Amino acid sequence: MSSKAINSAVNRVGQVTQQLSSQAPIKQQLRMSSTANTVHRLNTGAPMPALGFGTWQDKDAQESAVETALKVGYRHIDTARIYGTEPMVAAGIKKSGVPRDQIFITTKLWNNQHDPKSVEPALDASLKDLGVDYVDLYLMHWPSPFQDGDNKFPKDNDGAVIPGSADYVDTYKAMEECQKKGKTKAIGVSNFSQSEMERLLKETSIVPAAHQLEMHPWLQQHGFDKWHNDKGIHIMQYSPFGNQNPIYDGGKDMGKLIEDPTLVEIGKKYGKSGAQVALAWGIAHGRTVLPKSKTESRIKDNLEGDFKLDSEDVEKIDGIDKKLRFNDPSKNFKWNFYADLEGKQG
Give the active site residues. Answer: 83
Gap between the Cα atoms of 262 and 253, Å rounded: 19
Question: What are phi and psi for residue 333, nearest 5 degrees?
Answer: -90, -5
Longest dimension (CA), the chain: 58
- Strand blocks (E) in the chain: 39-41, 47-49, 53-54, 76-78, 104-109, 137-140, 187-190, 210-214, 234-238, 288-289, 324-325, 344-345
Three-state DSSP at 212 gives: strand
| Pairing verdict, β 324-325 and 288-289 | unpaired
Complete edge-to-edge strand list for the sheet that includes strand 288-289: 53-54, 76-78, 104-109, 137-140, 187-190, 210-214, 234-238, 288-289
Rounded to 10°, the helix 116-130/168-180 angle is 50
DSSP string, 234-280: EEEEESTTGGGSTT-GGGTTS--GGG-HHHHHHHHHHT--HHHHHHH
| Radius of gyration over every alpha carbon of the chain, rounded to an integer in angstroms | 19
